[in-house]
Amino acid sequence: MYIRFWGTRGSIPTPGPTTVRYGGNTACVEVRDSTGALLVLDAGTGLRELGISLMNSNGAKPLTVDLLISHLHWDHIQGIPFFRPAYVPNGLLRIVGPKHDRPMKELLGLRMDDPFFPVDLDNIPANIEVSEMADGSERQFGPYRVRAASIYHPAPALAYRIEADGKSVVYATDTEDFMTGKKNPVVELATGADTLIHDAQFLPSDFKETWGHSTIDAAIDVAAKAKVKRLVLYHHDPDRTDDALDHIGLQAQRTGREKLPGLEVVVAREGLELEV
């Protein structure tokens, strides 16, 4: 598999001179298998950039896009109204996310209702299908086998394990599992994974308990316990500058090797492409 990061920031987009190298767009990751089949993880503002790229490579032809949403906080869904392939008639956008007390399509639609956006979700030209996954459930999306796990976050949220081509990627953003004192579902989900993309918004010095995010050290601890091959630090704090992330990356690589010899630690940045 191949993965590309279109948005790596958490909470709010952060354009500006101090975030040029790691990027200011919020969460969005493109996944491809050996045949080029597309799977998208989260729909932050990075989804807009991905949509432009897809239109440039495919023209105005309708596309089928499977989009897995971790949860419905703004920074993970803001890109949906600006995803250009959704405005191509006869295209298909299949959106999947966690269960709520109300249907997820209804909740997504609220963010686009008048007066918040000029185009209602039901009036988007492409066909929109919205469904939900539960803790422990599995589904097939083309060549991808996906298993979901509920994680500890103020709002319902899922982590996903994606398998194809004999490889595995785990996407676990917005998780504060290490604070609960309970069994960490991400460790089980990620056990033996080739790549773990893990929330790493905080340092111990700026950690906010109950906000639903992890520290860099906690992400490394999960990766070591799960014995993954590669850890990608993700969902950077909006106040984290490029220079700060450079420093974090160097320290995280040292700590990672101490915790699990051979562990590769990477700091996610916009445009980063990794082979799994």
Q: What does the pLDDT read at residue 179?
A: 65
Residue 144 in domain: yes
- Is 157 inside any structural domain? yes
What residues make up the domain containing 48? 2-268
Residue 70 in any domain: the answer is yes
Type of residue numbered 210: T
276 in a structural domain: no
Report if residue 54 sits inside a domain. Answer: yes
Say if 20 falls within a structural domain.
yes
How far apart are the C-alpha atoms of 98 and 76, rounded to whole Å? 13
Residue 274 lies in a domain: no
d(CA 20, CA 123): 35
Beta bridge partners of residue 169, listed in sequence order: 162, 195
Domains in the chain, number: 1
pTM of the model: 0.97
**b or e along 157-191 (b: 16 or more beta carbons within 10 Å of the residue's beta carbon)?**
bbbbbbbbeebbbbbbbbbbbbbeeeebbbbebbe
Does 198 fall in a domain?
A: yes
pLDDT of residue 63: 94
**The domain that contains 197 carries what CATH number?**
3.60.15.10
User: Angle CA(253)–CA(255)–CA(259) in degrees, nearest 5?
Assistant: 115
Over the chain (276 residues), the average pLDDT of each successive run of 10 is: 98 97 98 97 98 93 96 97 96 97 94 92 95 97 97 95 98 85 91 98 91 94 97 98 98 97 98 98
